A and B are shown apart, each in its own frame.
Chain A
């Protein structure tokens, strides 16, 4: 696979390591009264869709960026890639 790094262009997926669903950006509020349940869902439950999936890749053998890659899990077609930091901060390109 090739991943379109937003800063570096097309890079071989072998340069990256994969983490999982981009909902991992949304760590629950530890102070919340429902923190136990929220953390269970956050750590363990996944939509695991057959289709478009937003997911986290780390450019391990590259610039060490975490990316949010949008990819179709049935075709492996990549629909986009953003810096996870920008996604988290709400910065859109």
Chain B
């Protein structure tokens, strides 16, 4: 049943009796053409695009917990396409274009809100680097504006301009960036995929791969063996664990990123703002909560929780940048496990095992990539060739020396 304002009114007047399940709870079949491991944003988007864009059928998504229980359900909801390097920028711009039609494509309001992002800079060197990046954005059609301090004061008068350890000199703004309702993205893809016949199987953990002569046959799960012609792994945070079952080591470490939300407040922050000299970024949700975060904790972990030093660091940054936040209260903090890759960029590629495909290494930036990640991973699964915008995300780029290192910090994941 299609969602619409008309339908909401009709149901309201008839006691909401007509709303059906957002998706079915199917039993797993014995064999599929495509299995996607991971019912997070990327996995669900991949299944959707396999069915919708590439016309494939006999598709299942296997999810260990509940749909959307991965990092799609625990992030700070930022979407943007303001990258520097040619391996990244066209991909994220493709993603942004998909975001711009998300609701209409999925018939689900995931509240994509292009409310702008501003990356602040605090030195001439940083300004030059942002100018280089802003120009890369323009050259890929993503747009952007270099703001002076004067212009910033108009937009964000509440920033600390006059008594700062690292004075704000200006900012790089991307007007088309913004936020989306993270859970809504997962649910939108799940519902749309389900309507196209994709089996979304929850509480189904993959426990092993069945491989014969270098060719994948299917997967062992907590709900039995399921055969498949092709299997795509999209389990960011757990990629190393899952791929280890196929004997593959990855250029990835798992780290925890903490995120934070304040109590609900009347709107005061216009878009997304990132601090260039401290580890802090913030936006305000449509419910009024300030959603913010900073650095990863910095040590390998699967514990989905962080520690105090990063909390202090983030809040120090927040208070230094926006002293008006002092009387707001932190409501909730949480931790998500990130696939921190060795160059800070993702992997969308085939593997050495025929029929096994990998989508991993999203670091803390996977949310904004969800639509394009699903699209391009589906393209790879369906056609066995990389999508034009994802050609750089090869697994062998590390061996061949074609890393995509936006920060220029090298093979140390906790610095990315």
Contacts and interface: CB of A to CB of B under 8 A. Distances in A.
A27 B216 CA distance: 34
B412 A40 contact: no
Contacts of A18: 298-299, 414
A13 B310 CA distance: 11
Contact of A1 (B241, B251, B253, B307): B307
A47 interface: yes
Given A46-B249, A46-B250, A48-B254, A73 B300 contact: yes
A74 interface: yes
B161 interface: no
B240 interface: yes
Interface residues of B, number: 24
Contacts of A17: 298
B251 A46 contact: yes
Contacts of A43: 342, 398, 411
Contacts of B413: 20
B240 A48 contact: yes
Contacts of B307: 1, 13
Nearest to B342: A44
Interface size band for A: 20 to 34
A64 to B, nearest CB: 18
B251 A44 contact: yes
Q: Which of A21, A47, A75 has the most CB of B within 10 A?
A: A47
A48 B250 CA distance: 8
B398 A40 contact: yes
Contact of B303 (A20, A41, A75): A75
Contacts of B414: 18, 20
A14 B309 contact: yes
A43 B411 CA distance: 7
Interface in A28-52: 36-37, 40-41, 43-50
A46 B302 contact: no
Contacts of A1: 299, 307
Contacts of B253: 20-21, 46, 48
B398 A47 contact: no
B2 interface: no
22 contacts: A1-B299, A1-B307, A13-B309, A18-B299, A19-B412, A20-B412, A20-B414, A21-B300, A43-B398, A43-B411, A44-B342, A44-B398, A44-B411, A45-B249, A47-B244, A47-B249, A48-B240, A48-B241, A50-B254, A74-B301, A74-B303, A76-B301
Given A21-B300, A43-B411, A45-B251, 11 more contacts: A13-B307, A20-B253, A20-B413, A40-B398, A41-B249, A46-B253, A48-B250, A50-B302, A55-B299, A73-B254, A74-B301
Interface of A: 1, 13-14, 17-21, 36-37, 40-41, 43-50, 53, 55, 71, 73-76
Question: What 7 A-B pairs come out closest when comparing CB atoms?
Answer: A48-B240, A44-B251, A44-B398, A45-B249, A50-B302, A18-B299, A14-B309
